[in-house]
Amino acid sequence: MRKFILLGCIASGISLNAQVRAGFESNSQYYKDDKKIKIDEVDAENRFRSNNYLKIDYASKYFEVGVQGEGYLPKALLNLNPELEGIHIGTVYARYNNYDKGIDITAGHFYEQFGSGLALRFWEDRALGLNNSLFGGRVKLNMNDYAQLTFLGGRQRLGFGFDLSKGAVYGADAQINLSNIYDSEDHSLNVGMSYVGRYEDLTIDYTLAPKTTDVLAARLDYSGEKFHFNAEYAYKSPDMRVESRILMDDTSDYGNALLVNLGYNNEGFAINANLRRLENFSFFSERKLAGNVYNIGSVNYIPALTKQYDHALQNIFVYQAQPNYINSFIKKKGEIGGQFDMFYEIPNETFFGGQQGGSLTINGSYWAGLKFEEQGADLISNNFFDFGQKYYSDIALEYRSKFTDNFLGIFSYLNQYYNKQFVEDSMGEVNAHTVVLDGTYFLSETKSVRLELQHQWADYDRKNWAGGTLEFTPNPTWSFFLHDIYNYGNDDPDMQIHYYSIGGAFSKGATRIAASYGRQRGGIMCVGGVCRYVPESAGLSLGITTNF
């Protein structure tokens, strides 16, 4: 605790200097058993848990230094990395950025992304309890706005503070702006190339393990007035496979990934589409970390390319990317599929547009495994774009309109297919239909009432759900809510549970305080397409964020 107090005193003492930025975030929960939910993972001494982050950055003209203190008191929130415990310095860095000369040098912990992240992405997401920063050095060179070069190397943060990977990660990236070279103003055209390497010597215990694994990637990005297109292809050199955290010493295979994005927009109409193919393409700073439930040690970024829905029942069956080669009870070699989003702006003073106009959004996705043939102990995919076992699909429609000056209404329908066996390594297939009605009435410019009603019909798993939310915002400072989803269709009467919560939030300036009490539904939770399992729980939650 003394380390955290010291960091706070330092921040308070220098906050009058305009070159200092500081931010604090705290998420706490007191876990409580009730008649329906028993929390086996929490003992009597650790019912209160809290994740805390204090980040301080100091910058002069060309120099910048920063430190992030982290406190997990006494442990991290449920189902986060169990190594997150106590108070430590989480990240520290120093940076020299001479933008006049185009030189940017960083030492310590840093975050980076090459292209779309297929080859490399180091990032932090506190909601997932994830910090995959690299501890080492990075040099960036900006060559007259025509090209940007990046060189980096180090060891990846795995758990807490200076717990670093045994494997070393290094790489280089080049981005060339062709449109600046030939001085185009009506569109932009960029090409990029990346190299990422990992060095991990396992040859003493695993004779076939290569010391170095290489990833090579190339990309093209075009953006015009109405049309945009980008594509990226990556290749991973042959490496040992990992199944259920076990290194398969007698096997090795290459990996590859292809990502294509297309988009068009014109006067109230827009459509975007994505296609992705992954084959044996998970990449970790330590091989044994492949497939870990906490997502620690991942070098590249391969989120699920499906729409992130807004309402609770729409997020019960969420797809997770399937990049791994598995040749055991369930046989998989990767995934192939895509999604699309189409948006149409409905003019006002029309039947569907109402007085203020409206919008119609249609989106869908389809994901399957790669089609393969079994040849001995290997799975061989002969045709690059062949689809195999179906994993997931959805199709959704959302209509929203401001029917009057004071009332905004939303209607959405979602149809999903979810293969639990291949997505979760569980059993069964689910077909689900979800309907949402959402209305907000504005009592004044700063006061509103919102009512949301949801229902889901499902033919498997926990079957039918019903839910609703009531929110009241009396002014820009305060807001209050009451929420409940009820699994009334569960075949087990003891599991027909109300997952209720009640709470509110206070916001003023850069500070926000939110508190709630209730139950949390267990299952898969996703943030930005990256997912983790969360257990059922009940209790009191408190969240605080501020910047000063």
Does residue 122 carry a pLDDT above 80? yes
Q: How many CA atoms lie within 13 A of 1 on its CB side?
A: 3
Does residue 62 carry a pLDDT above 70? yes
Tell me the C-alpha distance between 414 and 393, whole Å: 11
Does residue 5 carry a pLDDT above 70? no
Tell me the C-alpha distance between 220 and 349, whole Å: 42
pLDDT mean across residues, the chain: 91
The pLDDT, as a whole number, for residue 191 is: 97
pTM of the predicted model, to two decimals?
0.91
Give 272-298 pLDDT, tens digit per residue: 999 999 999 999 999 989 878 888 999
Mean per-residue pLDDT for 423-443? 95
Does residue 160 carry a pLDDT above 60? yes
What is the enclosing helix (H) or strand (E) of 6? helix 2-14
The three-class DSSP label of residue 45 is helix
The pLDDT, as a whole number, for residue 406 is: 92
The pLDDT, as a whole number, for residue 17 is: 45
Give 522-536 pLDDT, tens digit per residue: 887 777 777 777 888
The pLDDT, as a whole number, for residue 430 is: 97
The pLDDT, as a whole number, for residue 18 is: 47
Does residue 227 carry a pLDDT above 60? yes
| 214 contacts: CB under 8 Å, gap ≥ 6 | 195, 196, 197, 236, 237
The pLDDT, as a whole number, for residue 207 is: 77
Cβ neighbours, 10 Å, residue 378: 13
The pLDDT, as a whole number, for residue 280 is: 93
The pLDDT, as a whole number, for residue 349 is: 76
Q: How confident is the model at residue 10 (pLDDT cuts 50, 70, 90)?
A: very low
- C-alpha 195, offset from chain centre: 23
Does residue 152 carry a pLDDT above 60? yes
Mean per-residue pLDDT for 46-74? 94
Give 458-490 pLDDT, tens digit per residue: 999 999 999 999 999 999 999 999 999 999 999
Largest CA distance in the chain: 74
Q: How confident is the model at residue 205 (pLDDT cuts 50, 70, 90)?
A: confident
User: Mean pLDDT lowest for which of 12-16, 93-97, 222-226?
Assistant: 12-16
Does residue 42 carry a pLDDT above 80? no
Tell me the C-alpha distance between 340 and 231, whole Å: 16
Closest of 178, 107, 101 to residue 143, by C-alpha: 101
The pLDDT, as a whole number, for residue 44 is: 62
Instruction: Output the six-digit token pair for 225.
Output: 């007035």
Does residue 2 carry a pLDDT above 80? no
Does residue 184 carry a pLDDT above 60? yes
